[in-house]
Amino acid sequence: MLGGMPSIAGQQDLTFLDRMEKLRLFPQYMTNKGYAPTSIKNMLCSVVLFLKHVESSFQKESKLSQKQLSKILYEIKRLQSDVVKMVTVHRQKVLQKKTENELHAAVETKFMAAARKRIPKLLSTS
């Protein structure tokens, strides 16, 4: 999340979070890394919870002003709404694949009839 900054940047304070251009790229970066939209949504929810915790308990140590924190939280919530749209599309695609892989009713009925006949025979021969 430091977005190209030295790793020590996050060890001092949280001012690196006040880079909206980097923050806006986070969902796309995670998508490119192979994360599902639901995972990205969960990560953003965790970030919001973390920032609210910082806001209530460690604002001074974070070196972020109330205005900066509010701006960051607003931007992340906006990103969340975009990701929710991606989640909806993702769920529809997954559901479509599951539906395509289901047995048709006639095939399932034949399978169940054959299973009712064969399972008792298999169990009695063992």
Q: What torsion do the CA atoms of 55, 7, 83, 30 make, to the nearest 10 degrees?
A: -160
pTM above 0.75, yes or no: no
Mean pLDDT of 49-67: 91
Q: What is the pLDDT of residues 64-106, one digit of tens each?
A: 999 999 999 999 999 999 999 988 888 888 777 777 777 788 8
Every domain of the chain and the residues it spans = 9-93
- Going from the C-alpha of 86 to that of each of 41, 43, 89, the distances in angstroms are 9, 14, 5
User: Do 52 and 72 contact (CB within 8 A), yes or no?
Assistant: no
pLDDT of 1 > 60? The answer is no
